[in-house]
A and B are shown apart, each in its own frame.
Chain A
Amino acid sequence: MATSETEWRLPSPRKVGLTLVIMTESALFTIFVVAYLFYIGKSLNPPYPREVLEFPWLGSIFLFGSSGTVVVAEQRLKKGDKGGFHLWWAITALLGLGFLIYTGSEWYNLIYHDHLTLSTNLFGSTFYSLVGLHASHVIVGLILLTLILVASLTGNIQERHHEHIEMISWYWHFVDGIWAVVVTVVYIIGMQ
């Protein structure tokens, strides 16, 4: 059983740490998703989802697209193409920003046009809490993307920071995955 000849290798703390953060965040989202699913069709007063929600094509294209651009940005970085990395990384951040603007306009319409607020009914409470929790994660991701962009443009990103960048892209994929769940629950199942 002696292992003295073999090399002693342990996993990267950043990768393990972020995997665990994603697990614990998933547990947090699960509860909000369960609350949403549990209360579908149980609101006692309008507005109801089918009357006021529209499928978020634009927002979804922005966010799912940004998952692709972040991969391209990472590949550019690995090939040593700093300019390409900046370009695609900036596009990712802009797509994230576009998603937030889309969500903002959706919420503006819901609040001022359809008079749906957090306190209107069960739908309002579960909708804003779930979508809002996701949007808050997009905001965090956007801040991280911007920080990296600024750091890279000012020449502060070295070889040893590549794993940090990879982790941010993992996080961004996670935010994207959560959006897939939210779309399924809120805009597909919830509209039946």
Chain B
Amino acid sequence: MTAWIQDLIFTVDHKKLGFMYLGAGWLFFIAGGILALLIRTQIAVPNNHLLDGETFNGAITMHGTTMIFFFAMLMVFGLINYIVPLQIGARDMAFPRLNAFSFWATFFGGIFLFMSYVFGPGLYGTGAAPDASWFALAPLTSRAFSPGNNIDFWSLGLLVSGVGSITGGVNIMVTIFCYRTKGMTLYRMPLFTWLALVTMFLVIMFMPPLSAAQIMLVLERFFGAKFFEAQAGGSPVLWQHFFWIFGHPEVYILVLPAFGIISECVPVFSRKPIFGYPMMVAATVMIGFISAGVWAHHMFTIGMDSFSVTFFAFATFVIAIPTGIKIFNWLGTMYGGKIRFEIPMLFCIAFLFQFLIAGLTGIMLGCAPFDWQLNDSYFVIAHFHYVIVGGIVFAVFAGFYYWFPKAVGRMMDKRLGLWHFWIFTIGFHLTFDPQHFLGFLGMPRRIYTYQEGRGWEVLNMISTIGAFLQAVGGIIFIVNMIISARKGKVAGDDPWDAWTLEWMTSSPPPDYNFEHLPEVRSRRPLWDLKHPEDPDWKFE
């Protein structure tokens, strides 16, 4: 037992670190999920007194921060850490020790954030969890409005985990550029790897603005510097710009790996190569670049001049084009395919529906006059939960069911998987579909309670019931993982009859990943190996 823990603490193996990222991510998911249930229970009925206003503010801040930075980011880094070196035929990451550092920095950043619940009262005697919401607008974060140390737990925790993300991003990019196996040109890389590459580019270019803003906040709170303080001539709006120049690319940092998972699963379960590979790559790179120019669509209500409003609204619409290309390419892959409705494919199909709706509400909100009306309402909550839960979490589930046999060597149970899929999907729709209408009915986000008679009661109750259904689905998933890891059907090297290199090695892969690899001559090296009479490289 102690040897096992010692191994985890000192390991530099990308597969073990990947496991640790994912394990830590699910722990934070449980913490963030409990906070979500508390929030939903509080606003299930009007005039509720389960949480007081301050605790509620703490809960929404911790829920948002945890889910974005310590669940979704850890899923992204965990999956990429585990899968990418296998997909490109590498033995490990480029810098294995740096990889361990990245994990521990990220992990301790999250632990530090949660320590606010224990040590939050701090030196000044007030506060507990950080309570300025996940984007912590100035001047709410200044000493005058947030005494105590709760905001410092937030900013320092994210600063530390940001260092971990940036070093991890550099490491993964170097791995992809410099450690591909013989013959795997950039143009033959699996799409998951391609999307990981663009994602990590976004990480290294857009995490630093957040770190810079956090440094400024720390200087302001501890050393009396003046960056965002209006009394000293500073501009609180500048914080918003700095936060969202990170914040919007962050959405793509989370969703691009999700696209990558879908791009791996859809072809394998449709028994067709991906439709329009070059366009998928081009669309990804386009999304990466355009995402740098849309951040102020989070800020339409601050009173921008009409040129800026037009620019950011237009850029927001433009980004729908490459995203649309992707959706059509996935449909094109499925069209005429021999679809196998395994659990990963079910999650992929649900993803396609839900992500489409999420994108459409995104375009609605990108339209500035519409946004002036519905900014900071439950419509926005519904929109981005559709992106993050309906899109990213569903894709992460697909990825888990898809790669679990490779990582563990046993299949996940299909019956429990079906229960998980249906309960979670129904729960998801019960939770977030009504919130669109709550937004139209004028319910603002972040209110801890409301009066009767506004027409919000029924929808809020449905939403809360849905949240608990999602929790049940999540528990089934975790139970499924635990049971399957012990008693699941033995998977073999290639249970899905897939085509990328990770399925060539044993399940679970040995420490050195591959004994020897054939030269890669097409985008589907395993197809070439299995079908020497009809190889792909003749046609690429």
Contact pick for B225, options A2, A10, A129, CB 8 Å: A129
Q: Interface of chain B, helix or strand or loop or mixed?
A: helix
Is B177 at the interface (CB under 8 A from chain A)?
yes
A24 in contact with B537 (CB, 8 Å):
no
The segment out of B51-59, B216-224, B316-324 that lies at the interface is B216-224
A31 in contact with B208 (CB, 8 Å):
yes
Closest Cβ of chain B to A154, distance in Å, is 24
B178 in contact with A119 (CB, 8 Å):
no
Is A20 at the interface (CB under 8 A from chain B)?
yes
B521 in contact with A27 (CB, 8 Å):
no
Is A147 at the interface (CB under 8 A from chain B)?
no
Q: List 28 A-B contacts (CB under 8 A).
A: A1-B540, A2-B537, A3-B185, A3-B519, A8-B182, A12-B178, A16-B177, A20-B204, A21-B170, A23-B204, A23-B205, A24-B169, A24-B170, A27-B206, A28-B208, A31-B209, A35-B242, A38-B235, A39-B233, A43-B232, A44-B232, A44-B233, A118-B219, A119-B224, A119-B226, A122-B226, A125-B226, A129-B219
Per the bound structure, the CA–CA distance linking A137 and B139 in Å amounts to 30
Contact pick for A119, options B170, B177, B223, CB 8 Å: B223
Q: Mark A1-21, 1 if CB is under 8 A from B, else 0.
A: 111100010111100110011
Closest Cβ of chain B to A91, distance in Å, is 31
Q: Mark A164-187, 1 if CB is under 8 A from B, else 0.
A: 000000000000000000000000
Contact pick for B178, options A1, A13, A43, A129, CB 8 Å: A13
Q: Which of chain A's residues have a CB closer than 8 A to the CB of B94?
A: 13, 17
Is A113 at the interface (CB under 8 A from chain B)?
no
Closest Cβ of chain A to B360, distance in Å, is 32
Contact pick for B212, options A13, A32, A44, A128, CB 8 Å: A32
Q: Mark A34-50, 1 if CB is under 8 A from B, else 0.
A: 01001100111000000
> With A27-B209, A129-B219 as given contacts, are A10 and B180 in contact (CB-CB < 8 Å)?
yes
Per the bound structure, the CA–CA distance linking A122 and B238 in Å amounts to 13
> With A119-B224, A119-B225 as given contacts, are A10 and B233 in contact (CB-CB < 8 Å)?
no
Per the bound structure, the CA–CA distance linking A144 and B178 in Å amounts to 25
B540 in contact with A20 (CB, 8 Å):
no
Closest Cβ of chain B to A28, distance in Å, is 4
Contact residues, B307-352 vs A (CB, 8 A): none
Is B279 at the interface (CB under 8 A from chain A)?
no
Is B227 at the interface (CB under 8 A from chain A)?
yes
Is B268 at the interface (CB under 8 A from chain A)?
no
Contact pick for B234, options A23, A31, A39, A129, CB 8 Å: A39
Q: How many residues on the B side are at the interface (Cβ–Cβ under 8 A)?
A: 45
Is B213 at the interface (CB under 8 A from chain A)?
yes
A1 in contact with B537 (CB, 8 Å):
yes
List the interface of chain A (C-beta within 8 A of B): 1-4, 8, 10-13, 16-17, 20-21, 23-25, 27-28, 30-32, 35, 38-39, 42-44, 118-119, 121-122, 124-126, 128-129
Contact residues, B461-489 vs A (CB, 8 A): none
Q: Which of chain B's residues have a CB closer than 8 A to the CB of A126?
A: 227
Per the bound structure, the CA–CA distance linking A13 and B519 in Å amounts to 21
A38 in contact with B233 (CB, 8 Å):
no
List the interface of chain B (C-beta within 8 A of A): 94-95, 166, 169-171, 173-174, 177-180, 182-183, 185, 204-209, 211-213, 215-216, 219-220, 223-227, 232-235, 238, 242, 245, 519, 521-522, 537, 540
Q: Which of chain A's residues have a CB closer than 8 A to the CB of B173?
A: 16, 20
Contact pick for A129, options B216, B232, B522, CB 8 Å: B216
Contact pick for B227, options A12, A24, A35, CB 8 Å: A35
Q: Interface of chain A, helix or strand or loop or mixed?
A: helix
Per the bound structure, the CA–CA distance linking A21 and B177 in Å amounts to 14
Contact pick for B233, options A28, A31, A43, CB 8 Å: A43
Closest Cβ of chain A to B295, distance in Å, is 13
Per the bound structure, the CA–CA distance linking A126 and B94 in Å amounts to 37
Q: Which residue in chain A gives the minimum CB-CB distance to B231?
A: A44
A35 in contact with B238 (CB, 8 Å):
yes
Q: Which of chain B's residues have a CB closer than 8 A to the CB of A13?
A: 94-95, 174, 177-179
Q: Which of chain B's residues have a CB closer than 8 A to the CB of A42?
A: 233-234
Q: Which of chain A's residues have a CB closer than 8 A to the CB of B179?
A: 10, 13
Per the bound structure, the CA–CA distance linking A21 and B166 in Å amounts to 9
A-B complex: 5 closest residue pairs judged by Cβ atoms: A119-B224, A31-B212, A28-B208, A125-B225, A27-B208
Q: Which of chain B's residues have a CB closer than 8 A to the CB of A27?
A: 204-206, 208-209
Q: Which of chain A's residues have a CB closer than 8 A to the CB of B166?
A: 24
Contact pick for A118, options B169, B180, B223, B245, CB 8 Å: B223
B205 in contact with A17 (CB, 8 Å):
no
Q: Which of chain B's residues have a CB closer than 8 A to the CB of A23?
A: 204-205
Q: Which of chain A's residues have a CB closer than 8 A to the CB of B174?
A: 13, 16-17, 20
Per the bound structure, the CA–CA distance linking A64 and B184 in Å amounts to 42
Instruction: Given A2-B537, A28-B208, A121-B232, output 11 extra A-B contacts at Cβ < 8 Å.
Output: A1-B540, A4-B521, A17-B95, A20-B204, A27-B206, A35-B242, A43-B233, A118-B225, A122-B234, A129-B216, A129-B219
A125 in contact with B233 (CB, 8 Å):
no
Closest Cβ of chain A to B540, distance in Å, is 6
Q: Which of chain B's residues have a CB closer than 8 A to the CB of A118?
A: 219, 223-225
Q: Which of chain B's residues have a CB closer than 8 A to the CB of A30?
A: 208-209
Q: Which of chain B's residues have a CB closer than 8 A to the CB of A16?
A: 173-174, 177-178
